[in-house]
Chains A and B, each alone.
Chain A
Amino acid sequence: MAISRDTLTAVAFAVDGRRIGQAEQHDTLAERNLRFKPGDVLAVKVRRSEVPAGSDIYQAFEVPYQKWMRVLDALNWIAENAAADLAFRWFCGSKMCGTCAVRMNGREVLACWEAVEPDMIIEPLRNLPVIRDLVVDRTRYEEKVASLEPWIERREPYGAFPEPLTHKQMKDASKALDCISCMCCYSACPVIGLGNLTDFAGPAPLVQLGQTALDPRNSPEKVRRSLEQSGIFNCVSCYKCEEVCPASIPIVSRIIEPLKAKAAQLVPEMAINSFALREVVASRGRVDPTELVLRVQGLRSLRNPRRIWRLLTRGKINPIRTLLRLKTAAAAAASHLLRDGTGKS
């Protein structure tokens, strides 16, 4: 039954988006679970919301390691033995309820799921108001999800159980259905971090929407209405959400990108930037910022001469080059790919 450390480090390690860099640093899950001995002491700092004047907002604890210890076990140990008043939310302890997410050493983790580290700084999630210590107010997320109305409306009345449906048709929706709405992605999202500057719904609400919007049983009319509320084109595809998702949902590639494609089809006016960018690249073989700005903003872009001047002097736009449209090999290739090839513009 005993498994030696050598056997474990020899286990083939699959690199995916979430694990990039970890293999190179020998930071495998096997390593992370086996680097402690019972009796080792972890140095844990927890961000508190109320502290007596003069004391550090990060309260330090020394926590004895227990076999296969999770971050949640460390928090429970602290609450039982060192700081009875520490507030943190959890219900199931087995990656199903999605309520115990925190930031550990700057990274969003599900406390019940993540292995402890020798030195840990534990903080509440970002982008949601803190109620106390590690407990955040989920209302903002809940309201957004409700406004997207993530349920299906059928065009045809339901027949009988089981209805005709294949897993192929449900492939992307099925990934979205793994979501436990833990808010890790919502906390990691830099666009949500911009606050009210955009109307972006955020990754977690979009995954919730994807459960029904990517379901072939849903009516396109219903999907269109939901997508209109989503601000989806504010997503910058940075993959932070995908990187932190404890349920390993490919949030950008399998949920947000397919939703963007649906939005482009059902609500084309939302996708004006994407269409313009594609058109510019197809015709020029490169991104031409001047044309991009003109296509997206039209004559409105001329209303701000100071900004035009700034862009000109800093070399961000070059109207002469824009006017002299050169026929380059890149342009021909781009045109072939984007217009004549697989994806018709």
Chain B
Amino acid sequence: MRVVTTDVAVIGGGAAGCYAALNLSKRGLKPLIICKGLVGKSGASLFAGNLVISGRALGNSEENARNTAEFLIKYHNQFLIDQSWAQRCGQFIEKVYYPELEEAGLYFRRDDSGEMVTSPGKIRSIAANIQGNSGVPFMDLRRKQIIKAGIARMEETVATALLRNSDGSVGGIFCLNYLTGEYMVVLARAVILATGYSDRLHIRSTGTREMSGDGIAMAWRAGATLLNMEMQWWHTNDLAHPPSWQRMQIYPNPMLGSEKSARILNSAGKEFFNQQKDDPLAFGPYTVQLKALVKQVRAGKARYEGGYYAGFDNCDPAEVETYTTYAKTFHQLGLPFPATMAETAVSSHYRQGGIDVDTNTMRSSIPGLYAAGGVGGHSNGLIGLATYDGRVVAEGVVQDIANLKAPSVSQSAIDAECLRLDHLRSSFGDGSTPAKLKEKLRTVMWEKAGVEKNASDLRSALDDIEQIRADLLPGMKISNTGKSVNYEWLDAIDLVNMIDVCELVIHSSLERKESRGPFIRQDFPLTDNDNWLAANILKKSGNGLRFEKRPYGLPLFAPGFSTKDNLEVAW
């Protein structure tokens, strides 16, 4: 078995992982990126549609700057955020992020006279090359920066376990290159998890194929503290068909160079969301849309799986097509644009929660283990935030590296992981395939832990998941015994992680006895700031798990009410 030694192992090749690796390398440490997909070509970063202007950058007014911060804290995180981290992040985006990206060659879209094209509204944004596709050139640039810096990367390689040193700290990872079927051990003084926000735990999800909660599952098994695992964000207007397009979004954000943008109609053709009218801060109206949809579903005028429609029929098609990619879907289906409103559905999107970190260093609760970007539980997603985490974690590791031990992982842990994976590859039962079991698990999550939740459905979901774990997993059937490019095997490895993460999500959902933003409990409809303006902290204990609460500080913005019906709260 190949054993590779490096200073820092970075798991994940998105915005946070790449930027962490670049910063570590600049600071003289040797990072190694282990990416389950391809660096810059998998994970959520690729989907960045537009880029928010924070602070006073690009002629932002004081008011714009304040709105951006308010948006992040209220609408993106429903106050479940370290506001001082948010403030530092905003400063980074204004002072470092944009100049650095542009210096490296990222092209922010101008018009022919050289003016930067921005979206209108109370919060402004720009795009890399074209709105809707900003993540593509952005992450392509990162990929090239990684190549240019000579940073080693292992792609289409899945990390399957964190390896611990004798003192309990993390000293490496076990991984599998699923193209070759080769096992590898990476020994490192520090391990950074940067596995992203959007795991495919529901039947409809925005995450890329490979995202199966690996980072959360590995961290949990190693004993890391998690938080806010229930805080699931949703896309309200992704295409209802075909299945592979469940992430193809009718973008609801304000459009570059236009005063107009998308709207949504219910099954009777009546408008129930219009970005210009219904989006109070005029940016990223995801939760606002979701709440409007919940009311439609309750009135029988839409379903979470479809039966409502979104599009740009109120817009000038030339405006839509000049600076955005938003018409591409309609054209590809041969549908008249902008006259057609396409049937849309809900997809689970980012998870606000994740691994609990110290936001000054991105240290997790386990020495040697760090988390950056979406897998951390300190904020919901934007590519700029994930990037900032990449810098903070690099600084945290640089600060700690002298005190981190040289790896001393035990051979028995390595042998045990080999055995576990070998065993999964030889699942010759007469039951379902790993792909079918994944689908079953996602269906349970969709039906019993979907947009609207209640205690009895959640408990029933736990029973279903226990049945998958105890009865169906042992009888799983894999037809391909080969090691090379065996996606069945990979599905089996994913499934084990997904089962663990789904259970944690459900336990956390049961624990938060309120509704808050996109987290909607039918049995607890009120947003309860007296009791739940707090992190829902999940710790591993001897006989399972236990919860703790940690209130959030409110130095910049506060909700200004004690309790209120969540569907009537703007954010």
State the A residues within 8 Å of B (CB): 1, 3, 7-8, 11, 28-34, 50, 66-70, 72-73, 76, 79-80, 84-85, 87, 90-99, 112-113, 115, 131-133, 135, 138, 146, 149-152, 154, 158, 160-168, 170, 173-174, 177-181, 211-212, 215, 217-218
Contacts and interface: CB of A to CB of B under 8 A. Distances in A.
B480 A70 contact: no
A140 to B, nearest CB: 14
A3 B340 contact: yes
Nearest to A9: B334
Contacts of B42: 91-92, 97, 99
Given A68-B245, A84-B488, A163 B129 contact: no
A173 B336 CA distance: 30
Contact of B136 (A28, A79, A93, A180): A180
Q: Which 9 A-B pairs have the closest CB atoms?
A: A30-B334, A29-B334, A85-B480, A132-B485, A166-B114, A158-B103, A67-B241, A161-B99, A152-B105
A91 B210 contact: yes
Contacts of B38: 91, 97, 99, 138
B28 interface: no
B208 A95 contact: no
Given A84-B480, A91-B41, A151-B145, A97 B243 contact: no
Nearest to B308: A1
A178 B133 contact: yes
A170 B109 CA distance: 9
A113 B479 CA distance: 29
A93 B334 contact: no
A84 B492 CA distance: 12
Which has the most chain B C-beta neighbours within 10 Å: A96, A98, A113?
A96
B247 A93 contact: yes
B468 interface: no
A94 B112 contact: no
A90 B102 contact: no
B114 A8 contact: no
Given A66-B242, A99-B38, A151-B145, 12 more contacts: A11-B334, A33-B334, A68-B245, A87-B487, A90-B244, A93-B209, A151-B144, A152-B104, A166-B113, A177-B136, A178-B129, A181-B41
A148 B247 CA distance: 33
B242 A34 contact: no
B87 to A, nearest CB: 20
B110 A97 contact: no
Contact of B37 (A1, A34, A91, A218): A91
Contacts of B210: 91
Contact of B241 (A66, A91, A149, A168): A66
Interface residues of B, number: 75
Contact of A93 (B107, B241, B244, B478): B244
Nearest to B432: A84
Contact of B112 (A1, A72, A93, A168): A168
A218 B335 CA distance: 40
Contacts of B58: 161-162
Contacts of B136: 96, 177-178, 180
A170 B107 contact: yes
A80 B336 contact: no
27 contacts: A7-B336, A8-B336, A30-B334, A31-B334, A79-B435, A80-B439, A84-B479, A91-B209, A92-B247, A115-B332, A132-B482, A149-B148, A150-B144, A151-B105, A152-B104, A154-B103, A160-B99, A162-B58, A164-B114, A165-B107, A166-B114, A167-B109, A167-B110, A167-B112, A177-B136, A181-B41, A211-B140
Contacts of A66: 241-243
B116 interface: yes
Given A87-B485, A93-B245, A149-B148, A173 B107 contact: yes
Nearest to B210: A91
Contact of B208 (A84, A91, A174, A181): A91
Nearest to B248: A94
A69 B208 contact: no
B334 A70 contact: no
Contact of A113 (B135, B332, B484): B332
Contact of B105 (A50, A73, A174, A212): A212
B112 A215 contact: no
Nearest to A11: B336
Nearest to A83: B479
B497 interface: no
B488 A85 contact: yes
Contact of A161 (B98, B112, B269, B486): B98
Contacts of A112: 244-245
Q: Which of B247, B341, B485 has the most CB of A within 10 A?
A: B485
A244 to B, nearest CB: 15
Most buried by A among B179, B245, B477: B245
A28 B334 contact: yes
Nearest to B40: A97
Given A162-B102, A167-B112, A132 B484 contact: yes
A154 B135 CA distance: 24
A33 B144 contact: no
B326 interface: no
A96 B133 contact: yes
Interface string B206-245: 0011100000000000000000000000000001011111
Given A92-B208, A174-B107, A85 B479 contact: yes
Contact of B433 (A50, A69, A84): A84
Interface in B327-351: 328, 331-336, 340-341, 343
